[in-house]
Amino acid sequence: MSERLSHASDERRDGLQESESSATDDGPLSAEVYLLTTAGVAAIAGFLYGYDTGIISGALLQITADFGLDHRTQELVTSAILVGAVIGALGCGKLSGLIGRRYTIMVVAAIFALGVICSGLAPSAFWLGASRLLLGCAVGGASQIVPVYIAELAPAEKRGRLVTFFNISIGVGILTAGVVGAFLQAYWSWRVMFAVAAIPALILLLGMIKLPESPRWLVGQRRVREAREALGMVRETDREVRRELRSIEKTSKRTAKERQLGWRELRKPWLRPALIAGLGVAAFTQLSGIEMMIYYTPTFLTDAGFSHQGALYSALGVAGIYLVMTILGKLVVDHLGRRRLCLLMMPGAVLSLLVLGAVFQFGADGPQTSWLIVASLFAFMVFNAGGIQVIGWLIGSEVYPLSIREKATSLHAAMLWGSNLLLTGTALTMVNLLGIGGAMWFYAGLNVLGFLFIFFLVPETKGKSLEEIENELKEGTFLPMR
């Protein structure tokens, strides 16, 4: 009886709020524009991620000259940001559960600003590494919280396109870093290259002030009225708001006790397929070699005999391809599907690395084959950036149920950055041991493993709401389509 009375009360409240919202509704376009604006502002964190990780590619040549770094110290300075990213990724999930997604993004923006200013003022390689460690906390935190924030606001049919705003912003940041590295070397010192990123960090901090909180987090905090208002800002009709809010409330009530179990909840068998799929994709997003190429392309190419300027221009081309392919991936991911997109693109990445490795391994690198080196490098970027990079953060924002979302997305980001750290921190050492050709073949093998992993263990999530994905996990039907 109490449940029926509660339900009737909910219906009356829905009807009342529907009439209220109808009186103030600005039309369906306003909700869509507001949603796009929210995703766009939050995705500025992706720009900072891309710029702050990518700028080391052009700045490292100046830093090496200023501080007299050997190849091992170069690796340490470069990878310090990745150590910080692991720390930030693990800590940000807990923070977002306590203070909310929106305020967490604001904290991350403040750390971004502090980190880049400290990097620009660093008096030695040690302090530069320490500053980049702090900056990495913001990078890792952004990569954990922003995709979750956008996914929890987006409707199921638009979620892929909206979450990949984050990926596109990463691409814009990497391209901007490439432009700065290629064309402003004579005008900007590496200190200015770092410190200028404080401007977009402050824009992000101020821009988040007026944006809505995640309705799913609000429901979890029993702030249902605020959740209804937040959903009303980004949904076109009151009917959508009511239906989605009921679904969120139902899932939140069912998982309230599970959330109290803490990290022990991750050990439950029904969650295992989501953790395997999500964490595996996170690992192979980096083990496929994308960040290593972005960081070290100028270093690899100058070692292969390219001029300093030619190497920087090639790095700029790498960044441009990353951005273009990320945009194309955004356009097709909700139509083609996450799993299918990866399976179509990864074989091309493998072939590109095999060719690139062969050129170096058999001593064919020289002026006559420089075009083949650049073509193979660019082809790898096309297939990698347009495939697994599109879904790396997207899958992490989709597959983890509400009861473990903060913890699991923290693990997801930590896995991604830990894999990045492993690869980036050993790249130059591996090249010294195996040669550039042998290293490229090794990375080709990792791409083959990534293809097999996705084929056998990663289900499709296209067009499914977050609650539908959770129900599939509960029912044991979250399986790859063969």
Among 240, 285, 225, 258, residue whose Cα is nearest residue 405: 258
Q: Is the residue at 237 inside a domain?
A: no
Q: What is the mean pLDDT of the chain?
A: 84
Q: Give 107-136 pLDDT, tens digit per residue.
A: 999 999 999 999 999 998 889 989 999 999
The per-residue pLDDT string of the chain (482 residues; one tens digit each, 9 = 90 and over) reads 444 444 444 444 444 444 444 433 444 448 888 888 899 999 999 999 889 888 887 788 788 888 887 777 877 887 788 889 889 988 888 898 899 999 999 999 999 999 999 999 999 888 998 999 999 999 989 988 998 899 899 888 888 888 888 888 988 998 898 888 878 877 889 899 999 999 999 999 999 998 999 998 999 888 999 999 998 888 888 888 899 898 888 877 776 665 555 667 788 889 899 999 999 999 999 899 887 776 667 766 776 677 777 777 787 888 888 889 988 988 888 889 999 999 999 999 999 999 988 988 886 555 667 778 888 889 999 999 999 988 887 898 889 887 788 888 888 888 988 888 888 777 777 878 888 888 889 999 999 999 999 999 999 998 888 888 988 998 888 988 64
Count CB atoms within 10 A of the CB of residue 185.
Answer: 18
Distance CA 331, CA 351 (A): 25
Q: Is the residue at 256 inside a domain?
A: no
The two structure tokens encoding residue 428: 């130059």
CA distances from 19 to 27, 228, 412 (A): 14, 14, 42
Q: Is the residue at 441 inside a domain?
A: yes
Answer whether 0.85 is exceeded by the pTM. no
Q: Give 272-308 pLDDT, tens digit per residue.
A: 999 999 999 999 998 998 877 766 677 667 766 777 7
Q: Is the residue at 231 inside a domain?
A: no
CATH number at residue 266: 1.20.1250.20
Identify the pLDDT of residue 18. 42
Among 62, 317, 46, residue whose Cα is nearest residue 201: 46
The number of distinct structural domains making up the chain is: 1
Residue 458, domain extent:
28-211+261-475
The b/e string for 352-388 (b: 16+ C-beta within 10 A; e otherwise) is: bbbbbbebbbeeebeeebbeebbebbebbbbbbbbbb
Q: How many CA atoms lie within 13 A of 137 on its CB side?
A: 19
Q: Is the residue at 323 inside a domain?
A: yes
Q: Is the residue at 13 inside a domain?
A: no
Helices (H) then strands (E): counts for the chain: 20, 0
